[in-house]
Amino acid sequence: MPDRPTLIRQWQMLRQLSASRHGCCIRDLAAEYEVSEKTIRRDLDALADGGFDLVSTTGNRGQKQWRLEGRPEFESLHFDLGEIAALYLGRRFLEPLAGTTLWDAAQSAFVKLQKQFSPDALRFLESLARAVHETTFG
């Protein structure tokens, strides 16, 4: 099993490859993560073996660009009110991830979910959360 720094680097690479419209070359990834090009190739192989749809294209100068192919099933996701509310209220369970890239991604998702509710609906959901589950952190 890969060690923690490897997993973190691979997660960061996935996010970068997902966000990149044209892709990233191995040389740039190696420089960004301060590892060898061979390490980046191993990471790309491991991610592809892990089920991520990595695609390479060759540019005008023969340089390969790698990117994470968009998954059509993600683009067509539709949530009902109960699912949106459950995900929004579940944010408290992710608080132990604070300060990590996963936390940042979750916060971005929660902002999107929050926009689905009016201020009054959000107050109701917060009341509902307190009524359903009382807990303290720390």
pLDDT digits (tens, 9 = 90+) for 61-72: 888 899 888 665
Please check whether residue 137 lies inside any domain of the structure.
no
pLDDT score at 1: 41
Q: Are residues 93 and 58 in the same domain?
A: no
The conformation of residue 77, written as its DSSP 8-state character, comes to -
138 in a structural domain:
no
Domain end call among 25, 43, 72: 72
Distance between CA atoms of 26 and 64, rounded to whole angstroms? 8
Domain that includes residue 83, residue range:
78-132
pLDDT tens column, 9-52: 888 888 888 888 788 999 999 999 999 999 999 999 988 888 88
Instruction: Single out the residue in 48, 72, 96 at which a domain terminates.
Output: 72
With tokens 């990590």, the residue in question is 100
Token duo for residue 120: 């009054």
Of 126, 108, 106, 130, which Cα lies nearest the Cα of 117? 126
Average confidence (pLDDT) over 89-116: 85
* Cα 100 from Cα 8, distance rounded (Å): 10
Radius of gyration of the chain (CA): 19
pLDDT for res 73: 57
> pTM of whole model > 0.85?
no
In a domain, 113, yes or no: yes
